[in-house]
Amino acid sequence: MMKIWIMKTAIKYYDEMIEKDAVMIDENGIDDYYHSYTESQIKNIIDSSGHSVGRIKGFFDRFVDEMSLGDLIIIGTGQASKFNVTEIARITGDYKFDTDYRLRHYRSVEFYGLDRKIPFDQWRWAKRLDEVGEDRLGEFGEIMSKILF
């Protein structure tokens, strides 16, 4: 079953994603394929960075294990308190790791090519990567209507 994801990123990373036809995430210390680490190694790496282990591990678990081919990603950019729908992508590739990318953990995607940013403050809560749950599908429909009409 197709899932819908929200990904928030900085413009500089978004530009690289467009250039590489990929969505990407990264974290200092996770310097290889995510599954090459044990659970305790991942927790130690994230904990030593001063970030929330649950939050960062959750982003990676979703990106590596829960996303699937065909899923949609709504990519937003903007300040921490804003969410501007900048692009919609469909996942076309499995999780990969490449040290040539600035954000080294990635999945290939097909971008749909939005011609403008659409402010959508209802999703300003979004962080790096979250799933759009069934309780938020109406908001997804609202975004799609803004894109189409």
Give pLDDT tens digits for 87-117: 999 999 999 999 998 999 999 999 999 989 9
Domains of the chain: 4-148 (3.10.590.10)
Per the model's pLDDT, the better-predicted residue between 125 and 42 turns out to be 42
pLDDT at 80: 78
* Contact status, residue 34 vs residue 95, Cβ threshold 8 Å: yes
In the predicted model, is pLDDT for residue 136 greater than 80?
Answer: yes
pLDDT at 126: 87
pLDDT at 58: 95
The rounded distance, in Å, linking the Cα atoms of 135 and 139 is: 9
For the segment 126-149, the average pLDDT, to the nearest whole number, is 88
Per the model's pLDDT, the better-predicted residue between 148 and 40 turns out to be 40
The rounded distance, in Å, linking the Cα atoms of 51 and 57 is: 10
pLDDT at 7: 95
Task: Give the single-character DSSP code of 110.
Answer: E
Residues 26-85 have pLDDT tens digits of 999 999 999 999 999 999 999 998 888 999 999 999 999 999 999 999 999 987 788 999
Residue 63 has φ and ψ, to the nearest 5°, of: -65, -45
pLDDT at 72: 96
